[in-house]
Structure 1
Amino acid sequence: MTTKKLLIFSLLVLSFNLYFTQKIEIKNDKVLLDEKPILKAEKINMNQYSFYNLKNDDEILLYKGFDNETPQYINDDYYVLNFLTEKIKIESNDFSQIASFMNSKKSMEKLIKWLLKEKVLTLEGELNPDRVAIFKEKYDQNITERTIR
């Protein structure tokens, strides 16, 4: 009897998770949340994206990937999230939240989904300054300060 209740509970939790999952898509230089535009996206190159506020076209986020001048050695790669309007920069080598095997568009979609989940971005595409600061505390690895050149 308990196994049956556990199975029902698990299916219920899974169905709620699937129901509340938000669809993020970058299409025609727009970030769409459940098919509603929330940001403008600009792919500068394979390792750099800019995201803009739709209301006033301010650049709010710049993503840059770095190979640390060793293209064949990926263990020292890192990325920078520069929240421009908040003047906060985050450096990390943990690609687990955004990795999407050589597909920069899918990686950026995962990045936006992560920022929404962490409440750094609102559902309207605005930055939440308090959550940006918390995000920095949680994920910033301060790589350039630790790197000897």
Structure 2
Amino acid sequence: MKTKKLLTLFLLISGLSFYFSQEVVIKDDKVLLDGKQILKAEKINVLQYSFYSMKDDEEILMFRQMDNETPKYMDDDYYVLNFLTEKTKVESTDFTKILNFMNSRKAMEKLIKWLLKERVINNDGELNPERVQTFKEKYDENITDRTFR
């Protein structure tokens, strides 16, 4: 009897989390949030994406993966999130938030979900300047400034 109650509670909680989660899909250069387009996306290459505002078609975010000039050594790789309209750059080696086994589109979908969760981007695809700064403080590792060349 107790097992059935626990199982029912678990299924209810799991169902609610799926109900409230947002679906992000990138299809035909459109970033869709629950079926509604919030941004335009451009895949420059496997390692670089740009995202554009729906209002004025301005580039607001650029993602770029960097190999730190060591293409065969992957432990020093990092990525750069450049919030262009806010003139803010975030560099990080933590790929766990976006990693998707060489599928760059899925990785970018995870990136947008992460930015939505952190409230850096709102449901209309607009950047929140205060949250961009908070995001930078939380995740920026300042790799370029501390790398010797």
Q: Which residue of 2 aligns with 1:43?
A: 43
Specify the code of the residue in structure 2 equivalent to 1:114: W
Counterpart check, 1:139 vs 2:132 = no
Q: Hey, what's the Cα distance between the residues in 1 that align with 2:147 and 2:67? A: 13
Aligned-pair CA distance for 1:83: 0.4
Structure 2 unaligned residues grouped into runs of 5+:
none
Identical amino acids, percent of aligned pairs:
66
The count of residues paired between Structure 1 and Structure 2 equals 149
3-state SS of 2:75 partner: helix
Q: Hey, what's the Cα distance between the residues in 2 that align with 1:5 and 1:147? A: 55
Specify the code of the residue in structure 1 equivalent to 2:24: I
Aligned-pair CA distance for 1:10: 2.2
Distance verdict in 2 for CA 1:3–1:137, change over 3 Å: farther
Q: Which residue of 2 aligns with 1:55?
A: 55
Q: Hey, what's the Cα distance between the residues in 2 that align with 1:130 and 1:13? A: 32
**TM-score, structure 1 normalization:** 0.95
Specify the code of the residue in structure 1 equivalent to 2:72: Q
Pairwise CA RMSD of aligned residues? 1.2
Q: Which residue of 2 aligns with 1:114?
A: 114
Q: Hey, what's the Cα distance between the residues in 2 that align with 1:42 and 1:97? A: 20
Aligned-pair CA distance for 1:92: 0.1
Counterpart check, 1:101 vs 2:89 = no
Q: Hey, what's the Cα distance between the residues in 2 that align with 1:143 and 1:69? A: 13
**TM-score, structure 2 normalization:** 0.95
Counterpart check, 1:80 vs 2:80 = yes
